[in-house]
Each structure stands twice: as structure tokens, then as C-alpha cells.
Amino acid sequence: MILELKSYGHLEMVGTLVSQLTKGCSPEEIRAAGLGDYYTDHGISVYPQSASGVPFNAMTLAVKGDPITDLTEDMAAEQKARSTYEYLIDLADDPDVINVLKFLREREVVHFQRFGEALRTVEEKLAERKFYMNNMNNTNNSCGCNEDKGNGTCNGGCSNPRR
Amino acid sequence: MIVDKSRCELLHEIMAVDFKLYDLQLYLDTHPFDEDALCMYQNLVNDADELTEEYEEKYGPLTPKSAAGNCEWKWIKNPWPWERG
């Protein structure tokens, strides 16, 4: 969910880029830029789809309910986004566009770092030695067992006989 | 809409501080006891509050919460983020 909120923020910035770049373009310019098909389907509105034209779909997201699995998934998503920004930078020639893409790429690196720290925190938590306090409320005997309830002794029959 | 330079500059400053806050927030989520970072965060909150107050006084609301004037909804008088001056 955090990842998605962040991605919506990025989507807004990239959408703004596209909106500003296409503002006032003639149909000829749009066609020459390879946006003819896009223009036919969506005009100059910003529509969430992949570079190859596949619309955004929730199937691209994964969640398993296991913190190790999900955080690792999040970290992979950050790296995929970083690669995508790098490919976009390869293709871009406008320095103002490249600057925005570089900023967004840097965010992916920082967020990967943060998710890595969260993963480490979870792993450390899971590796902690656990103490189970299950004799707290139902112990009757001084040795800690529950045998022969009532008289305060188990007559040495339990695994930790009264000394 | 023509956006004058000082408005742009002020908005840029606010965005820079807000961005620092956001990045520091992510850091604090995984380093909740880092005193230097906590102090830096609080200082930035104060900066952001001051700048926001200055901006809203001069140029109008930055969030809908401060958009309700006495007789006019001021939110829609601002240029949208994707509109350039």
C-alpha cells in the first residue's frame, strides 16, 4: 500500500511531464512522435498504461501476507522502477525531462534502501529468542506444575519435582 | 494564469521542505530513536509551517483545508499543478 501511494505520486509527476510536453502539439507532431495510436484512444488525456500500450492492471501487483515475501517483492518493484527510469533517460533528450527522471530514479534507490531496512528489522524480530509465559496464571504448585491441584504439591510426579 | 516569480520561488521552497520532511519520515520509520533525525524533523516542520502560512496569506490555499473563505471557495482559483504560468 505504501508502495502504491508512492507510485501514485510518481504517476502524477510523469503524467504532468507528458501533459506539459504534449500541450499545444499539432496532430502532425503527435503522429511524428509515435503517439498517433495513443491519441486515437485517449486524446491528450493521461491514461495509465505501459510503454507498449497495456493498460494498468492490479494483476501487476503482488501481495502474499508474509512480511518477508512482501518486503522482498516491494524491493524488487523499486529496482524494476529504477531500471525503467534508466531506460527512459536513455531515450530522453530534453534536459528538463531528464532531470525529473533522474530525481524519480533516485527516489527508487532511497526507497529500496528503506524497504531493505524494514526487511532487516522484520528478520531480526523473527530471529529473537521467544519467551512463553504460559505458567503465569494456572500454576498451583510451587514447582510450577499443575498436577494434583489444590494441595500445593505434586508429590514429585512431574518433570520438575519440588526440591 | 501568470505566476509571478516570488510566488514560484516560495512554492519551490515549500516543496523542497515538504520533500525533506517526506524523505526524513521514511528514514524515521526505520530509525525511530535517531535523535538527530528527530530534531531535524521538528525543525523542518516549523519551517514548513512558517512558509505555508506566508504563502497562503499572499497567494491562496495550498490545501483544501485552508480554502474556505468567508464568501468564496478559494481552492479553484489556484492554477492546477500541471498548469504552467
**ipTM confidence score:** 0.73
Q: Closest to B82 (Cβ–Cβ): which among A19, A111, A121?
A: A19
| Residue B81 to residue A12, Cβ atoms within 8 A | yes
Q: Is residue B31 part of a domain?
A: yes
What's the CA gap between A101 and A107, in Å, rounded? 10
Question: What band does A1 get if pLDDT is binned at 50, 70 and 90?
Answer: very low
Q: Closest to A117 (Cβ–Cβ): which among B23, B30, B82?
A: B30
| Residue B26 to residue A111, Cβ atoms within 8 A | yes
Q: Is B46 left (phi over 0), alpha (psi -120 to 50) or beta?
A: alpha
Length of chain B: 85
Q: What is the mean pLDDT of residues A58-70?
A: 92
What's the CA gap between B18 and B13, in Å, rounded? 9
Q: Is residue B71 part of a domain?
A: yes
pTM across the whole model: 0.74
Interface contact B63, partner A, CB < 8 A: no
Q: Is B17 left (phi over 0), alpha (psi -120 to 50) or beta?
A: alpha
Q: Is residue B14 part of a domain?
A: yes
Q: Please give the residue range of the domain that contains residue B51.
A: 5-77
Q: Is residue B25 part of a domain?
A: yes
Q: Is residue B82 part of a domain?
A: no
Give chain B's domain count: 1
What's the CA gap between A31 and A38, in Å, rounded? 9
pLDDT higher than 50, residue B23: yes
Residues 31-50 of B with CB under 8 A from A: 31
Q: Is residue B21 part of a domain?
A: yes
**Nearest chain A Cα to B82, which residue?**
A16
Q: What mean pLDDT, rounded, does chain B reach?
A: 89
Q: What pLDDT, on the 0 to 100 scale, is given for residue A139?
A: 55
Question: What band does A163 get if pLDDT is binned at 50, 70 and 90?
Answer: very low
Residues of chain A found within 8 Å of residue B26, distances taken between Cβ atoms: 110-111, 114
